[in-house]
Structure 1
């Protein structure tokens, strides 16, 4: 298994002393994601090679894995639209990392969406029946193929000179290890072609058959000698049990027994009631009993399929499910410290280190859902009740009952009803805008500001008589006013007073700035979750242990 996830067979050339590829699982190497690094484009010339788009150059001339870097400083196109241009690149696409998807719109409208979004680096437009617009925040997995039914428009400053016709010639992709060169060429070498002619299919089939027969004989002989008297040992039974229990279907009676007839309630969410239980193998679990609205198989499988596709330390893990005519249950890992709201809004004061850890971990979990999954997952209900804390106060996002799995070619606005919790819902819902990952960014912003302030900002409060506004609106007004008049202690005045000054100012300032930008009513001005993670990681080095007795 090679570094790029492709399975290859290398052979040593006795004469030259070099290892060369004689077989590989994926022949169309441009199909391997990330092979040419960030901003790089895989081109067939006709051999697959890496190339940089206009305005970019290799980050490291000796290593294509580091991709391409821009030869310009990025500017915000929404503030200076006259200073940028779009370079047309036919048959080119960057797979994934789309900030939005809009079907049935014109090329000009698609261009405006990218111009109005400072984070947008390019947009892909396809004319397959109706116009489809994909705006790109990051440029990964680039490739050029005559079969791609679309055009990429790369956003560049006007100062960058480009030709009318973009030509991607490509550069050889090689990896040098000491004095031995291994050609992993994005491309088929002459050695590969020569050996390919010499090695016939008859030889390959014969070789595979002989090896398979020998392995089978060893396996059967070993099994007979080991287990002819004692049968299957306890260790193998235990291994099988662990494998089968990793993710499986439970019966209703199993879960009823595990929860002692659903005795200990852990909490209630939008999708059902959660109970604590202990399985037969002594694993402590959280069993969610879905409500009547979630009894349809379609809704049930929506949650199961979403959770089954993801795996991240900041997302609650699912152990299994129960699907019976009158019962729909989900079995999750048990997270011992409960939900964030019980620590943040109770009499117990959550320390600053823990608050920052929650902000960073939650951002990492959402960034995984939005950017690292090949299909978008939008949670739709991010709030303190759905952020659980383990023994080390590491956050885990839970309750995917409202989540939306959004494929690249599906309409993001296809939501049958408004989803989420009042106070954490983005205005996008009320404005009937296409639903994108930016609704989660808004909800995350509310949570981050609540982590800083230590109070519910989703509540409504009276203002000037009968007029009402949310605590969040009032909070943002006050903070912006203090920043405007350049109050030196505005951060100290904003942070939860229960901390008694025990916090890191640079982290608190960054969290407030991030939170305010996340709850901007104009969703194009909200940051992406991966950029939030990067900003918080830069502050993490300044973390100091301040919660001391």
Structure 2
């Protein structure tokens, strides 16, 4: 970045020199000017991180007056001008952008408001001050399309980019709008927070968190994490792009490093109006593409398909019969105008009713079991998206006939000989193609039809559907074929068995065959949709599902390294995890669970956190699996009695046995047990001479109180030079807080992440309950402090099954009216 000439000159400069060579300090005196054609003209912040200058615009021969980070990232702009344009801080106090003809393009509106100087701060804020150094105007209070760290975005402010805008509502909701009124994304707060908001504000923190907060509430109201969350030595900014999507970007270098998108608000094809009027958004490989509904339409601009499509023949000019164009796996947006919904038994009545109605432009037949048919009114904006997993078929009125394929067009020759030659060539080409197809089909039938690698390439794999966030629907036969009839078993858990499979596009997957799932077709699809809507670095990705008859299967991405227990509890020295890997896995797991608890649209309680459900990818990044298989919590009260959900011995929170409501704090307890295992490399329910035959968590707490934290650490890590004893202490202390008997004493998972990272100080945790403090008596369970009760015991008719359940958890009957807890059973079960 070029510096302003004479930066150390102490004498006052004439006004003429000031106009041509502005000061490089943060102060901008009245009369200062920047010229678009002056490549060395710049106003710098004190540390030169941010600057005000003209940068090349997207339009040819035009320049953007902007505040930039490191000279290459625009965070605020006043507008574009030609090469003779200028940006001036007038003596009247107004900051004004003019083009080469002298016309005003933009003005700060601070004329005669007492402005005496301007400045560009190290935060990137461009400010106009009065003589008391009080800000009269600032770029942070008048954002354009970007928010940076330390900038507060409050209700009433708007980010704009073309027809799109982003707002923070008074209720705390984040909204994206098209054409100012059509809301196509609404990220809301839960009612417990929104009812207490008075002046919500949004800020982008240095560790990659978008935080919504308010003075009236304590803590975080809502958070969104970027993909590189936790790295504070990174420049980040939140930007509304011209494609209508809201994204978090980051630059790893404070100078001019590459800018990478780390988070986006929604799938690009779900952005309203992205492909223009009559445009249909789909995917080509991993990128969104814009298509016209059929060849009955033309692109408005073939060089810019986002401008939409137009009819070749308008319906009012149609001389032939009007017909309906059928588009499978396609849905139309409904934000801009009311839909009229009716119920028909099938898609044909939905198509026919719209065709016969002059007030219907298009209709959508839902294939989700509801039988709904939605009709779109004429004159409204038409926008839709298409993907193989969309459970709907759309119909659009066109002037017939429907043109699905390119028509064969032949130019007339000069005589009969030309026409004969053209006919002969056409027949020869068609005959050749038919012959090739026959030969290929014959070869496949004879040689490859029984090889699963050459199975029929279904529409599921013509596009990498999972890249768009929507799960692929498989048939049971397809999953039978790709798993070789469920031959290679990877493992088994509380919800079913997992098998290795290879899809026809050669993607290796893990197929989970669910057991004991009682939901109907519609409810199961809704739960799959909830699982597939979760996207986080530390969660296993759901690729697809199967719901056919009694078969319920889920298809996940495959993790070659397997689960965490294969590394923690093995004698194979080649699988020993270093401390650095252990800490990163513990932190990554906490971030994944935090996302499930605090950042999903619906709070998801895992209910089975254990090393077997924490997978490790090739880079030793933790991936939480099996989430969402338990019932979702009610988002209004965050409580749900899920007594029928199965957990795992050693990780169940006390409230499971007490038949109390299960909340997200139950996952915190299980995570605390896993955290102890990551540190120690030992199962928490194992009892040995090392622990003096005590429950491991109690023995570990006694060693911690003695200041002997190293005794808890896995002995195999003695020679590991990466062991950070301070991190070990933080993890051990955090685990003890997590496994507190009372759920209210346990921290939230968001707090756990801060404790592990050292952001929050950790107080000394109370000791976990010992077995001597716990007993069963009659129909209730109590502790010596009387802090926990169990609901009445089972009826006589179910006593045998109940006894078997208690024995599984280490609880045995010792006679009528009483129950005895065996060693290591209750808090570790």
TM-score, normalising length: structure 2: 0.39
SS of the equivalent of 2:486 reads coil
SS of the equivalent of 1:30 reads coil
CA-to-aligned-CA distance 1:99-130 (integer Å, 9 cap, x gap)? xxxxxxxxxxxxxxxxxxxxxx3xxxxxxxxx
Which of residues 519, 522, 525 in structure 1 aligns to 2:739?
519
User: Post-superposition shift, 1:326?
Assistant: 2.9
Question: Which residue number in structure 1 is paired with residue 717 of structure 2?
Answer: 499
User: Post-superposition shift, 1:283?
Assistant: 0.1
Residues 454/272 of structure 1: CA separation in 2 closer, same or farther (3 Å cut): same
Which of residues 485, 492, 495 in structure 2 aligns to 1:271?
495
Residues 500/302 of structure 1: CA separation in 2 closer, same or farther (3 Å cut): farther
Question: Which residue number in structure 1 is paired with residue 614 of structure 2?
Answer: 387
User: Post-superposition shift, 1:525?
Assistant: 1.7
Which of residues 655, 663, 667 in structure 2 aligns to 1:436?
663
Which of residues 527, 544, 554 in structure 2 aligns to 1:320?
544
8 Å CA contact 2:672–2:738 kept in 1: the answer is yes
Residues 334/350 of structure 1: CA separation in 2 closer, same or farther (3 Å cut): same
8 Å CA contact 1:59–1:67 kept in 2: the answer is no
SS of the equivalent of 2:604 reads strand
User: Post-superposition shift, 1:404?
Assistant: 3.2
CA-to-aligned-CA distance 1:143-181 (integer Å, 9 cap, x gap)? xxxxxxxxxxxxxxxxxxxxxxxxxxxxxxxx9x9xxxx
Task: State the alpha-carbon separation in 1 of the partners of residues 277 and 600 from structure 2.
Answer: 38
SS of the equivalent of 1:360 reads helix
1:215 aligns with 2:433: no
Question: Which residue number in structure 2 is paired with residue 361 of structure 1?
Answer: 588
Q: How does 1:54-73 map to 2 (within 5 A)?
A: none
8 Å CA contact 1:271–1:401 kept in 2: the answer is no
Question: Which residue number in structure 1 is paired with residue 221 of structure 2?
Answer: 139
Task: State the alpha-carbon separation in 2 of the partners of residues 532 and 321 from structure 1.
Answer: 33
Task: State the alpha-carbon separation in 1 of the partners of residues 654 and 603 from structure 2.
Answer: 20
Residues 497/299 of structure 1: CA separation in 2 closer, same or farther (3 Å cut): farther
User: Post-superposition shift, 1:309?
Assistant: 2.2
1:256 aligns with 2:471: no
Q: How does 1:467-482 map to 2 (within 5 A)?
A: 470-476=695-701, 478-482=702-706
1:284 aligns with 2:284: no
Task: State the alpha-carbon separation in 1 of the partners of residues 222 and 169 from structure 2.
Answer: 15
8 Å CA contact 1:266–1:274 kept in 2: the answer is yes
8 Å CA contact 1:378–1:403 kept in 2: the answer is yes
SS of the equivalent of 1:377 reads coil
Question: Which residue number in structure 1 is paired with residue 679 of structure 2?
Answer: 452
8 Å CA contact 1:425–1:439 kept in 2: the answer is yes
CA-to-aligned-CA distance 1:309-358 (integer Å, 9 cap, x gap)? 21111111111111111321111100110011111101132221111111
CA-to-aligned-CA distance 1:458-477 (integer Å, 9 cap, x gap)? 24569999xx863333333x
User: Post-superposition shift, 1:290?
Assistant: 1.4
SS of the equivalent of 1:524 reads helix
8 Å CA contact 1:438–1:523 kept in 2: the answer is yes
Residues 449/299 of structure 1: CA separation in 2 closer, same or farther (3 Å cut): farther
Task: State the alpha-carbon separation in 1 of the partners of residues 277 and 526 from structure 2.
Answer: 43
TM-score, normalising length: structure 1: 0.57
Higher relative contact order (CA 8 A, sep 6+): 1
Residues 345/294 of structure 1: CA separation in 2 closer, same or farther (3 Å cut): farther
SS of the equivalent of 2:592 reads helix
User: Post-superposition shift, 1:263?
Assistant: 0.9
Greater percentage in helix? 1
Residues 509/343 of structure 1: CA separation in 2 closer, same or farther (3 Å cut): same
| Segment of structure 1 superposing worse, 347-356 or 456-465 | 456-465
Question: Which residue number in structure 1 is paired with residue 533 of structure 2?
Answer: 309
8 Å CA contact 2:672–2:736 kept in 1: the answer is yes
User: Post-superposition shift, 1:501?
Assistant: 4.3
CA-to-aligned-CA distance 1:168-197 (integer Å, 9 cap, x gap)? xxxxxxx9x9xxxxxxxxxxxxxxxxxxxx
1:33 aligns with 2:173: yes
CA-to-aligned-CA distance 1:379-427 (integer Å, 9 cap, x gap)? 0100000001011111111113643322322561332425311210111
Task: State the alpha-carbon separation in 2 of the partners of residues 241 and 414 from structure 1.
Answer: 42
Question: Which residue number in structure 2 is paired with residue 427 of structure 1?
Answer: 654
Question: Which residue number in structure 1 is paired with residue 106 of structure 2?
Answer: 17
8 Å CA contact 1:306–1:377 kept in 2: the answer is no
Task: State the alpha-carbon separation in 2 of the partners of residues 28 and 513 from structure 1.
Answer: 38
Residues 511/227 of structure 1: CA separation in 2 closer, same or farther (3 Å cut): farther
SS of the equivalent of 1:315 reads coil
CA-to-aligned-CA distance 1:502-548 (integer Å, 9 cap, x gap)? 21111111111111111011222211111221232348xxxxxxxxx
- Aligned Cα root-mean-square deviation (Å): 4.7
SS of the equivalent of 2:487 reads coil
User: Post-superposition shift, 1:16?
Assistant: 5.8
User: Post-superposition shift, 1:295?
Assistant: 7.2
Task: State the alpha-carbon separation in 2 of the partners of residues 519 and 391 from structure 1.
Answer: 30
Structure 2: gaps (5+ residues): 1-77, 81-96, 98-102, 108-143, 145-157, 176-188, 224-236, 240-275, 280-291, 313-402, 409-428, 431-457, 760-829
Q: How does 1:230-241 map to 2 (within 5 A)?
A: 241=462
8 Å CA contact 2:590–2:749 kept in 1: the answer is yes
Task: State the alpha-carbon separation in 2 of the partners of residues 49 and 425 from structure 1.
Answer: 40
Question: Which residue number in structure 2 is paired with residue 242 of structure 1?
Answer: 463
8 Å CA contact 2:543–2:556 kept in 1: the answer is yes
Structure of larger gyration radius: 2
SS of the equivalent of 1:276 reads strand
1:535 aligns with 2:617: no
Aligned length: 372
CA-to-aligned-CA distance 1:434-458 (integer Å, 9 cap, x gap)? 3211111110100010011110012
CA-to-aligned-CA distance 1:238-267 (integer Å, 9 cap, x gap)? 998124465211111111111111111000
User: Post-superposition shift, 1:24?
Assistant: 6.3
1:346 aligns with 2:570: yes
8 Å CA contact 2:687–2:695 kept in 1: the answer is yes
Task: State the alpha-carbon separation in 2 of the partners of residues 395 and 429 from structure 1.
Answer: 26
Question: Which residue number in structure 1 is paired with residue 730 of structure 2?
Answer: 510
Structure 1: gaps (5+ residues): 1-9, 53-57, 71-88, 95-120, 122-136, 142-174, 178-207, 232-236, 484-489, 540-549
8 Å CA contact 1:362–1:395 kept in 2: the answer is yes
Residues 345/228 of structure 1: CA separation in 2 closer, same or farther (3 Å cut): farther
Question: Which residue number in structure 2 is paired with residue 145 of structure 1?
Answer: none
